Structure 1
Amino acid sequence: MGTPDRDNYEMAPQSDRDVEKQKQVEEEEAGWTGLGKEELLQVADTPAWNWTRNVLLVLFWVTWVAMLIAAIWIVVTVPRCPDVEWWEKNVVYQVSPRSFYDTDGDGVGDLKGLNKKISYLEELKVKILYINSIFSQANNSVGHPGNHIVDFKGIDTSLGTKEDFQKLMTTATESSIKVILEFIPNHSSDQHPWFLDSKANATGPKANYYIWSEYQGPEVMEDNNPAWTKVEGRGWYYHSKDPSLPDFNYKSEDLRKDITEAMGYWLKEFGVDGMVITNVNSVVDYGIVSESRKRRQSTNDTTAAPAADLTQAMPATTDAMPAPVATTDAMPESKTTMGATEPFAEPGPTYVIHEEDKMLQEYIKQWRSVFVDNSYLGKYRLLVTSGADSIDSAVVQYGNKGQRLADFPLNTLFPDVITGEPNGEMVAEAITDWIEAKKKVDEDTYKRWDSWMVSNNDIWRVASRCSSDLVNVMNTMVLTLPGTPIIMYGQELGMQNNNASEDQQLAPMSWDKTKNANFSKGEPWTSLSDNWESNNVKVLSDKDKKDSELNIFKSLVDIHLEPPVSAGFFDIIKKSSGVLAYLRRLEDWPTYLVVINFSNSVEQLEFPSDRVQPEAEVVLSTDGSFEGDLNPQKIKMKGKSAVVFKYKALQ
């Protein structure tokens, strides 16, 4: 038998004395019922208790009233933050994955390397990662990295695997960083299965996926090389870049469906937050269609171009243009008026959307339906477009007459004025031209969001295109203009181009002064930046170097995130050949005055007292000339410098 569990039993009394004592305890417990009503009133009615009770009651009501007053005061007096979307207020950091960080020593940056460096983006307070083309590439691809696509649903093996990409998405999500991908819809590699099928079979299912003609068209590319290449027994195919990159035929409904499906694949399978659809102007810029666009560019024509005979430049097809797509959940409504300085005026009767731009709008409309279908509460899919021959052709990508298409088009035309020693008046004109072009469309477009850049994967770095001592000036401008700043990787360091024969702006990221700038343990796929030893992350991160490009960039990101800068009104108050000055203001918030001197010379500046307060705080000075509190109405600016003041808004 087992031993009884003693804890489950009470011990029996050991003697009569114990029994008697236990009865006495039980009787006492049964007899006690607490204080009666009369006894309680007598105790509670003492002076001490009355005083304590009254004090506590008064304190309760005083505290409650004070909290109510404080809550009302906060609601009434504290400025409200503008209601902006994640893609409107945050900085976009553009990365060419082949050039960012290599983890396997083959000399090519990869997705694992990008994943490993997410912490660097956190350090920069970057919340949007824009990754250039990662899709499967042809083995014989030369030039135009990322363009030689053979599978729009695959990842290039030199960059990694889909598992690597999924891990990158997970890491980015955990760091509250949105990921958007570049998607190139205009062309594929000539090794893509679609093109191989189209080239081999003039009546096959992919026959009309590309632009074929029995006649060599008159079109030439920008470098004056022929835009048509002959395939014996098949005819001529069109390419707006080079013969290894044949252009798609968007007259083919099947082609449009396949491209749209590929976009949806990345949104659904990997949870990508959006896409930048590049080269969109080339989607309809083929054959004689583009001649009207070229005539308009050269003559600044504002009337519709005459219809051209496309029978020789376009393949015969019965496919219809895409029907308008209903977008009842098209995009969040704009909450601010970016760049507006005066009431909206109705566009004049001369505003015309040209035929090729109408065609492009139809294609964007079809793409947009995929983004809408994959958006839901808490997960908005961003649609950005890139590629235009003129500002007018760019702004129509927003949509018109209430039809929202791109959330915003990239302003890839703006860098055209940022060359050599930029002219303040020309820069100001480029800014206002963009804003005014939106106004010409309609009121809805006028209120739409802007974007600004000075370099990207196709445009030389500003440190090489202008000069290295203008980097801080340019970053100040891009991060304080009204809209989303697009920052090319290494721009925060003032990286220069390399000495490669092409794609010089894609120099590997400069991490430190060790071999290969610590980009790779192997031989890099392209040469290092010309200034990698001085302008790298490790050197410029030194906190004692407050005026380093990287430390100034970090300060500028903080300034950009201030509501008046990220979402406020924009007013140019001074422009000259060397200087550009403007205000960023928002009701009930401090006003920011940004002053930029592009020139080499010292500038003595005065600002009107009705626009600028006599007392202001210096929040950033690129050369350290200004600090503390001072009067910004009269200042002396050194050459190639910028300063940002903050002062209480004028009443």
Structure 2
Amino acid sequence: MTDQAIKWWQKAVVYQVYPRSFQDTNHDGIGDLQGIIQHLDYLQKLGVDVIWLNPIYRSPNDDNGYDISDYQEIASDFGTMADFEELLKAAHDKGLKIIMDLVVNHTSDEHAWFKESRSNTTNKYRDFYFWRVGNAGNPPNNWDSAFGGSAWKYDEQTKEYYLHTFSTKQPDLNWENPQMRQSIYDMMNWWLKKGVDGFRMDVINQISKLPGLPDGPLKPHSKFGDARVTNGPKVHDYLQEMNREVLSKKDIMTVGETHGITPDDGVKYAGFDRQELNMVFEFQHLRLDNSQHGFGKWSTRKTSLVELKKVINNWQVALKDKAWNSLFWNNHDTPRAVSRFGNDSEQYRDVSAKMLATCLHLLQGTPYIYQGEELGMTNAHFKNLADYRDIETLNAYQDIVTKSHLLTNDDMMQRIEANSRDNSRTPMQWNTLVNAGFSDVTLWIKVNPNYSTIKVDAALVDKNSTWYYYQKLITLRHDYPLVTLGDFKLLLADDPNIFMYQRHWQGQTWLVICNFTEQTLNCPVNEYLNGREQQIISNYADDQHNNLRPYESKVYSM
């Protein structure tokens, strides 16, 4: 691949906005589209190319917008379609692209399709969803929901069950139905005609279920990767059809959320010659700290750096020249990166946040920055269950503590504090005004108490801040083809403390060195340097050549 042959999205950096928590302008405690417009200059200054918006469609908000009741209306919490059109134009005027969250594995049970489907067994929309005969208390199969309990809900009106692999208010769409698929494609083309620049596709590898919906082995608290509902036999047929009907018609960006896949699967979903997606989110690196005792993500384990390097290396090597990687440490469904992989103490938060950024942004692929990551925002560390809003968190507490008594309150709260999705959903920390400058009224969720020290206005006046470090990394990606095109080579694969790799392109080599610990380590670099190296970037002001200080990262060009 040459510099001229690369696509715009391969050189881009994406900034993920969680609209509910970005900026409130109408004083209701909920972020809105005008709040995003208000901060476009901020994103332009950071240097990102693309804004990914979490769902802004009409929704009853059982799952914070991932339960959509109308794909072609804006949720009143966020504003109006006129606000969205204003945002789109303003972003484009500043050279920023907008990609939408596409949620087509399921709808809300308040969507018009489902209301019609539920009205009687012969309705033309009945087959838009999975309805099965059964008796109350005896579901059609033993599938479990990602949010706890059975994946089936009994409907008293028609005396049948419907499938919901997530919340009971999120019935799964039946992709076997060609009319349903065409309705989805029509909706997608409607958004492209409006001018959006692409789609992030929610749990897109779940749209093909196993034929016959057979029973399977129970996997308590298994959330994702269940072969009964992921990577089904027709998923690639559906995506190739989507590509023909929608995606190939515009020069857009697509990324699929694809839990439970391997690098070989990644090549199928995002292969350059597959006519499916541009790239996928894989989650192998985010599953390494999962519990080994049946609690899934509700774990107290720390990720092994050796295993983390192995997963990242596998993806970098397997997709080289075949497909494209997406790069991310965190998003709206995960803990904050610096709390999970770094150190969010006052002493080490800044330097470890910069180290993690260095490690990720110099890999091959398209990097994603989750809002506030560029500040080094941390987990919320809420101690009381009443402070959490996430349906997954609340249901897990009920299942694990209240119903099954598998864990005590204190043990479960420790796990929630580390792993709840709400850790990433607290409001953006703009300044030291009330509620971190996000809103001046009661908020939909509490602000992180540390906003007095971690905030945008302070970061923008400190040239050594995490924010400016991210800006430098984005500039390196834009300016150096090596970052986009270079080969990747992992070094010191079995070292439990240091993540070191090379990038090589057209005779130029960069050496990336990251200390994932709070220890000062010997830095084994001499055999890789030639005496003519130049330091490209580091999170420490000086260079102690043979030492790696706590969470130090440095990059050399040879």
Answer yes or no: same fold by TM over 0.5: yes
**Residue 200 of structure 1 pairs with residue 125 of structure 2:** no
Render the CA deviation track for 1:138-174: whole Å, top value 9, x for unaligned.
2xx33x2111211111111111111111111111111
Q: CA deviation at 1:618?
A: 2.1
Paired residues of 2:260 and 2:282 also in contact (CA < 8 A): no
Which residue of 534, 541, 544 maps to 1:624? 541
Render the CA deviation track for 1:280-310: whole Å, top value 9, x for unaligned.
1322246865867999xx9xx9xxx9xx9xx
Tell me which residue corresponds to 2:471: 554
Q: Distance in 2 between matches of 1:396 and 1:361?
A: 12
Question: 1:591–1:472: structure 2 CA closer, same or farther, 3 Å change rule?
Answer: same
Q: CA deviation at 1:244?
A: 1.0
Q: CA deviation at 1:472?
A: 1.6
**Residue 414 of structure 1 pairs with residue 331 of structure 2:** no
Q: CA deviation at 1:574?
A: 2.3
Q: Distance in 2 between matches of 1:436 and 1:479?
A: 16
Tell me which residue corresponds to 1:150: 69
**Aligned counterparts, 1:344-383, within 5 A:** 356-372=231-247, 374-375=249-250, 380-383=251-254
Tell me which residue corresponds to 2:269: 398
Q: Distance in 1 between matches of 2:289 and 2:11?
A: 24
**Residue 262 of structure 1 pairs with residue 187 of structure 2:** yes
Tell me the TM-score normalised to structure 1 length. Answer: 0.71
Which residue of 426, 429, 453 maps to 2:310? 429
Tell me which residue corresponds to 2:518: 600
SS of match in other structure, 2:492: strand
Question: 1:510–1:137: structure 2 CA closer, same or farther, 3 Å change rule?
Answer: same
Q: Distance in 2 between matches of 1:100 and 1:357?
A: 36
**Residue 567 of structure 1 pairs with residue 449 of structure 2:** no
**Residue 100 of structure 1 pairs with residue 22 of structure 2:** yes
Which residue of 133, 155, 160 maps to 1:214? 133
Q: CA deviation at 1:98?
A: 1.1
Larger radius of gyration: 1
Tell me which residue corresponds to 1:131: 53
Question: 1:146–1:573: structure 2 CA closer, same or farther, 3 Å change rule?
Answer: same
Render the CA deviation track for 1:11-49: whole Å, top value 9, x for unaligned.
xxxxxxxxxxxxxxxxxxxxxxxxxxxxxxxxxxxxxxx
Which residue of 616, 638, 641 maps to 2:552? 641
Render the CA deviation track for 1:50-74: whole Å, top value 9, x for unaligned.
xxxxxxxxxxxxxxxxxxxxxxxxx
Worse overlay, 149-158 or 401-410: 401-410
Q: Distance in 2 between matches of 1:205 and 1:475?
A: 51
SS of match in other structure, 2:153: strand
Unaligned runs of 5+ in 1: 1-79, 314-353, 440-445
Amino acid corresponding to residue 612 of structure 1 in structure 2: L
SS of match in other structure, 1:581: strand
Paired residues of 1:155 and 1:162 also in contact (CA < 8 A): yes
Question: 1:397–1:153: structure 2 CA closer, same or farther, 3 Å change rule?
Answer: farther
**Residue 456 of structure 1 pairs with residue 331 of structure 2:** yes
Question: 1:456–1:399: structure 2 CA closer, same or farther, 3 Å change rule?
Answer: closer
Q: CA deviation at 1:568?
A: 1.4
Tell me the TM-score normalised to structure 2 length. Answer: 0.82
Q: Distance in 2 between matches of 1:148 and 1:87?
A: 28
Q: CA deviation at 1:199?
A: 0.9
Which residue of 147, 151, 154 maps to 1:230? 154
Q: CA deviation at 1:564?
A: 1.0
Q: CA deviation at 1:272?
A: 0.5
Identity fraction in percent: 26
Tell me which residue corresponds to 1:473: 355
Paired residues of 1:240 and 1:282 also in contact (CA < 8 A): no
**Residue 507 of structure 1 pairs with residue 426 of structure 2:** yes
Q: CA deviation at 1:387?
A: 2.1
Question: 1:382–1:236: structure 2 CA closer, same or farther, 3 Å change rule?
Answer: same
Paired residues of 1:417 and 1:430 also in contact (CA < 8 A): no
Q: CA deviation at 1:92?
A: 0.6
Which residue of 470, 489, 495 maps to 2:371? 489
Q: Distance in 2 between matches of 1:258 and 1:372?
A: 15
Alignment RMSD: 2.7
Question: 1:176–1:279: structure 2 CA closer, same or farther, 3 Å change rule?
Answer: same
Q: Distance in 1 between matches of 2:523 and 2:163?
A: 54
Paired residues of 1:388 and 1:394 also in contact (CA < 8 A): no
Aligned length: 490
Question: 1:404–1:162: structure 2 CA closer, same or farther, 3 Å change rule?
Answer: same
Q: Distance in 2 between matches of 1:393 and 1:528?
A: 41
Render the CA deviation track for 1:516-570: whole Å, top value 9, x for unaligned.
1111122221111242221111111223x51x21122122212222211122111
Unaligned runs of 5+ in 2: 291-300, 391-420
Tell me which residue corresponds to 1:37: none
